[in-house]
Structure 1
Amino acid sequence: RDMAMDTNLIRCGLTAAFIFTVFGKLPVPQNVKMHTINFKNLLQWSPVTYHKGNVNYSVEYQSYYDKAFKKHAHFKKGCTSITMTECDLSILSVMVGYYLRVRAEYENETSEWAVIDEFEPSVHTEIGPPSVVVKPRLDMLDVNIIGPVNENNYKSMQEYFLDLAYKVSYWKVGEEEKVESINTNQKMTTLTNLEAWTTYCLKVEPVLHNRKTHPSSIVCGTTMDNGRAPVWQVIVTLLASICVVFGVTMGIFYSSHYIHRAVKHSFQPSYNLPEHIKEYLKEPSLTSQFLLPPPNMYEESFDKLSIISDIQQSFDNTNIDMNTNMEMVEKQP
């Protein structure tokens, strides 16, 4: 009987606890935590499920100083009756510590406060990723680091943390397992002793003692070689230039030849020589033999014509003079 009674009591207790959980007062928000990067402070928690309907949330804060030295100091309101499960508390002073609390609300019902007893922005904020610009210079890479800034006033995080430094990790593309790194506290650094005409990738991560930091996105750059092109590139360029020049030259030659033929055809129509002329032209010795008279013909013709021409002219002139004189004698009285 005793055991049966104990069992019944346990069952009743569990049933009462279940009914109180389901139908009792409003549950307290769970998993409350502060997510802060570069002083962008977001208080976050898990959503509350309530059987009566959707709930709202309110967030309040109080500084260590107010609680310690002000007897009647009240919590200040951060967010009131919001439906989201996060509250932006970036208005908190950087160098001051705070108590934080959040509760669920449904109409006139409120849950108990979920409290964070310690939050100091200067201690708990994480350092966000920097921006990186890579510029190739000969066989080196210049790395320009643009440091993270306060999300609220855009001041450099290095103004708050003077010992903030950066770790530059870099590797050759295709050899990601061979990572090299250098540390620097400058915003400009140069990666030296790199292979020429090779692509390297890198990322930059802030370094601050006992502080969580976030690396930059990966950026890549290709080195050069003292400003000179590699041999293979020179050869390819030379061959390409030769091909282009040859192509242009041949194009001009064939174009001019075609234009010449077209013009010639227009002004000098084509014609066909007779077959016997073509035969003569094919055999120049025969052509000269048939076309030119024998040498003795020139000599005989020339001597005969020249002698006859001179005697006849003299004779004609003598007859003219004698006739003239006879006429003049006859006319005299």
Structure 2
Amino acid sequence: MKLFGVFISALMVFWTSSVCGALRAPHNVTIQTLNMNYVLKWAWDPEQAPKGNVTFTTQYMAKFKKKKPKSRQDWRSVCDSSPDYSCDFSSAELHYLGMWLLRVRSQIGSDVSPWVILDFCPDRDAVIGPPSSVNITPVDGLLQVDILDPRSYTNGSMRELLPNMYYFIQYWKRGSLMQPNNVTSANNVVILPELENWTWYCVRVKSVDDYYKKISDFSPTYCTQTDGQTPYWQIFLIFLFSLVLSFGAILLLFRYVSEVVKVIRSTFYSTVPRPALIQGFLSDMPRLLYADPETEICFDRVDLLTPEPEAIKVDEIILEVHLPPETSQQSDRTHSRHSSGDSGVYSNEGSRQNDLGDGKMDKLVKKIARVNELDEGVQDMRV
């Protein structure tokens, strides 16, 4: 018996030393979830492996396969020899209603630790998230809340996996110390009732599923102002402001217009007398600008400029007859100049009589004599 006791003691020491010298497994293994995002996390003390760098391997398998022999168990690796203390299982696309086994172990070279296995059911264990989007719009003095469902890993709606999910909506008047109002609805569009016009309200929403008592965190808080009929005093103030603004704009416009009119008047209607040459040019400018360059201009009055009036003789004056524009079709008629010794008449194929008689010729001579008494004039003018 004594020898048997010694043998047992030696065996216990050997077993204890071998166990104490083995690589330890990760501890505090948990899974962090949100909708269909799953991250396996664990803790590790670096002092447990002072002789080398430790790595970790994680695997998963459907729970019903555990009843099969170990040789037929289908474990699939997600993170293989990773130095991180976590592993994301979202890419594994674990079915939301399935039962799964997750496991992790540590490794240094050829030394490995035992597996740490975790039982996981997403429908039971996964946390539901708040709405992915909340939009608030004023409508006829009320607030319309548009809610977008939480999204899965594949960007699908969580309502497809949780058909009984609904929303808990909390709203209150901004800055008020009163108890907030609560509304529950399974719809994605909700109208908040009994609100005051032109008042700021704050709203936040969270998702709820009663089957496993899942309640998400609140969404961010959104604040907006309700609308409604505009008060009469605001309408009066807006009208008064518009009236004052319009009156000021008219005064400003009148001031600038009057200045422009003064500048134009001082430029074109100056009180300072202009030289005769400039005044005559300005008065004749419209007729010169709009006259047809191919037609002749006839003047009612022609002033004759002669430096020595007494030296002008009747027989030295050359008369020129201009045809009016309407008779331009008679282009075959020729013009000729005649001296004082000629009869002063036009001939048309030798068949016409003298158009200018002796009496008319006397009157013309008298008029020419009168012209000799003027100090100014022109002898011949063509435009």
TM-score calculated relative to the size of structure 2: 0.60
Q: Which runs of 5+ in 1 are unaligned?
A: 1-15, 272-333
Structure-1 residue corresponding to 2:112 = 110
Structure-2 residue corresponding to 1:54 = 53
Q: 1:210-232 deviations in whole A, cap 9, x for unaligned?
A: 2242322222222100xx33334
Q: 1:147-167 deviations in whole A, cap 9, x for unaligned?
A: 11221x333212222211110
Alpha-carbon distance in 1 for matches of 2:65, 2:234? 72
SS at match of 2:240: helix
CA-CA distance at 1:70 after TM superposition:
5.4
Note closer, same or farther for the CA distance 1:239–1:27 as it changes in structure 2 (3 Å cut).
farther
Structure-2 residue corresponding to 1:67 = 66
Structure-2 residue corresponding to 1:224 = 227
Aligned pairs for 1:146-295 (under 5 A) are 146-151=148-153, 153-175=154-176, 177-209=178-210, 210-225=213-228, 228-266=229-267, 267-269=269-271
Structure-1 residue corresponding to 2:135 = 133
Structure-1 residue corresponding to 2:35 = 38
CA-CA distance at 1:208 after TM superposition:
1.4
1:139–1:192 contact (8 Å) kept in structure 2: no
Tell me which amino acid in the other structure corresponds to 1:122: D
Alpha-carbon distance in 2 for matches of 1:259, 1:164? 74
- State the identity %: 28
CA-CA distance at 1:270 after TM superposition:
7.1
1:59–1:79 contact (8 Å) kept in structure 2: yes
Note closer, same or farther for the CA distance 1:42–1:259 as it changes in structure 2 (3 Å cut).
same
Q: Which moved more, 1:260-269 or 1:178-187?
A: 260-269
2:145–2:189 contact (8 Å) kept in structure 1: yes
SS at match of 2:159: helix
SS at match of 2:214: coil
Structure-1 residue corresponding to 2:88 = 88
Alpha-carbon distance in 1 for matches of 2:244, 2:65? 84
Q: Which has the higher contact order (CA 8 A, sep 6+)?
A: 1
Alignment coverage as a number of residue pairs: 249
Tell me which amino acid in the other structure corresponds to 1:222: Q
2:206–2:215 contact (8 Å) kept in structure 1: no
TM-score calculated relative to the size of structure 1: 0.68
Alpha-carbon distance in 2 for matches of 1:165, 1:196? 28
Alpha-carbon distance in 2 for matches of 1:52, 1:229? 78
Structure-2 residue corresponding to 1:4 = none
Q: 1:219-273 deviations in whole A, cap 9, x for unaligned?
A: 2222100xx33334323322221121111111122223323333343423379xx
Note closer, same or farther for the CA distance 1:161–1:205 as it changes in structure 2 (3 Å cut).
same
Q: Which runs of 5+ in 2 are unaligned?
A: 1-15, 274-383
Note closer, same or farther for the CA distance 1:264–1:60 as it changes in structure 2 (3 Å cut).
closer
Note closer, same or farther for the CA distance 1:230–1:27 as it changes in structure 2 (3 Å cut).
farther
2:201–2:223 contact (8 Å) kept in structure 1: yes
CA-CA distance at 1:35 after TM superposition:
0.8
Alpha-carbon distance in 2 for matches of 1:205, 1:185? 12
CA-CA distance at 1:41 after TM superposition:
1.2
